[in-house]
Chains A and B, each alone.
Chain A
């Protein structure tokens, strides 16, 4: 990490820590946008930090952006941080005009004409967005278009963490101002979105591990801290193993951005984080016991996110099937030479 990245990490940490002292979660879960926090996020200019300096950003790129997303996951920020960063990143790549009102990205695979008739399921934060950034492929090109929220019908929904995941219906919506996204495929954008969730999950896993270790050392039963019991230690060791595997997998995927191995490592990261999420939540709740099952205790803010995020942008089974299919598509005996391209 260079010095600029370190400064950015420190200031993002400060901001996200401040958020945790507010009522942001209650607002979000009751269906509102935590407006003050969102305003703080905008005021600090975070939206454009991924963009190059020529584009008016801080030059973090997708790799540095993942660091912010990991922090947002760690601090369970109740804002569309990931979605807005990705949308602005894609918008800038296409040169399309956008404001600093909230836009969220959405992918549609194939499009034949200029008119959109489609129902999209579970679009993050759509109800609070001024517009949707719709990415699609047409004539073998990847394109995007920004559609104003008045041109769609939104039915609010929530994931298990209470985050907005809305159903969006387009009826004869017109795509007037579409732009090309040169040298980027739809599959690539899909994998970037999966990586952004995996990065959040890596942060959330770290948080769950830390909370659980702290709790196990403080909570006493049978006259000693529960963390002193071997049965508990053995489970928590695995929790630490899976957490560090997830962090490593995400870091490796970040290192392979813009290489031929990009999607493979992202698949590995989303699968690893997804598998770890279930184990982490199960173990953390077992160690915390009944108090962790309450709304009042903050563990649920992390575990409900993990349960939700593991299914968003492709779960373990979907990404595994894709990787597995690739293995079968390789020529006979090529598995090892393919695997070894991933470490240089």
Chain B
């Protein structure tokens, strides 16, 4: 049984100053160009992304030789949690900053780093995740999209699905089969960077039940990818994907998706003089949030130390998404307001948005059942 490590960490003066800097930026930036602020990291605003890039808040932890900020994971944590808590629509650059860049730093070639990282840092290059397929959701190893070796590169055929912002993003790191399936299900896959402006790519939008239009299905018909766009080693894509997960699953976006509702509910209850009944409920959720922040920050610190706490990241994501899903369920019972899709704002709209978006919280980035399977393996049960 591998012990889970969540040694708490305290941030210092440097991080506190940075926090203030983000708050000042947000005040000066003014209202965001969005109709709602629930799950703001799935909302795309390239203009905001470029403004954040100008502040040096994209690729913060990356080496300066690639245009990165050379800052710590704790500093990055502070910046992203301030943006999320404010409901900033940070979706455009989110994937590139959170996992594509770190993946290239870990497994990419020098040419790939030189080519992509400075563009990501400037907010000029957005990345999409190319993992799920129409018949491969949780069972990622069953993907069918093929990359066939041809002279000077690879020919891609197949499709990916649930690809957020594929119609806005410039590149997609795509998990493909590069060898036929064998007894080792996890062998024979590779990650390739596909330029989404290439010939042979069709993007079809999928509207979510909440009425959002960020999802897509994306089709590849003999799409050519040059040799220098293979990430890491051929046929070892699976272990690279797993390494990505510690970055993908542990951040504050895994528990702050519906945070706006908590703030608004407290305000509403206070104004309506309904505080007394609500105190234990609010306190319970605040306590959970306090502990989740400590846990997520601990993982950020472990990433800083060069560790890959994949199991811990799964814990943060499972507890975190439970929190952000249960929050609207609890708030609706203490607020004297019915959720209303048509409301322009206020708790009626926040309730509606968070209830409608909540199912995705524990699906994206690895379902609850998959995460618990990973944790169970860490316990020595599998």
Contact = CB atoms under 8 A, between A and B. Distances in A.
Interface stretch (A45-53, A129-137, A235-243): A235-243
A251 B294 CA distance: 10
A19 interface: no
Contacts of B289: 339
B294 A343 contact: yes
A325 interface: yes
B293 interface: yes
Given A236-B376, A247-B6, A343 B283 contact: no
B294 A241 contact: no
Interface in A232-286: 232-234, 236-238, 240-242, 244-245, 247-249, 251-252, 255, 264-265, 267-268, 271-272, 275
Contacts of A327: 266, 282-283, 286
Interface stretch (A27-35, A79-87, A329-337): A329-337
Contacts of B380: 213, 217
Contacts of A240: 4, 315, 375, 378-379
B378 to A, nearest CB: 8
B180 interface: no
Given A325-B279, A343-B11, A249 B375 contact: no
B382 A237 contact: no
Interface in B355-382: 369, 371-373, 375-376, 378-382
Interface string A303-335: 000000000000011011111111110001101
B12 interface: yes
A216 B379 CA distance: 11
A101 interface: no
B297 interface: yes
B287 A271 contact: yes
B287 A320 contact: yes
A203 interface: no
B280 A245 contact: no
B269 A328 contact: yes
A227 interface: yes
A249 B291 contact: yes
A178 interface: no
Contact of A268 (B1, B12, B290, B315): B290
B19 interface: yes
B372 A244 contact: no
Contacts of A267: 283, 287
Which of A216, A232, A240, A326 gathers the greatest number of chain B CB atoms within 10 Å? A240
A217 B380 CA distance: 8
Contacts of A339: 286, 289-290, 293
Contacts of A251: 6-8
A237 B288 CA distance: 18
A327 B262 CA distance: 11
Contact size range, A: 35 or more
A109 to B, nearest CB: 20
Interface string A187-225: 000000000000000000000001001001100000000
A342 interface: yes
B291 A252 contact: yes
A248 B298 contact: yes
A212 to B, nearest CB: 9
Nearest to B382: A233
A241 B319 contact: yes
B11 A320 contact: no
B19 A340 contact: yes
B372 A237 contact: yes
B1 A255 contact: no
A344 interface: yes
B54 interface: no
B202 to A, nearest CB: 38
Interface of A: 210, 213, 216-217, 227-228, 230, 232-234, 236-238, 240-242, 244-245, 247-249, 251-252, 255, 264-265, 267-268, 271-272, 275, 316-317, 319-328, 332-333, 335-336, 339-340, 342-344
| Nearest 3 Cβ contacts at the A-B interface | A324-B283, A324-B279, A320-B283
Given A240-B4, A328-B279, 20 more contacts: A237-B318, A238-B372, A245-B6, A245-B295, A245-B315, A248-B291, A249-B290, A264-B290, A268-B291, A272-B291, A316-B284, A320-B284, A324-B275, A325-B283, A327-B286, A328-B278, A335-B263, A339-B293, A340-B81, A342-B290
15 contacts: A238-B318, A244-B4, A248-B298, A251-B7, A252-B8, A252-B290, A255-B8, A265-B290, A268-B287, A320-B279, A320-B280, A328-B275, A332-B267, A340-B81, A343-B293
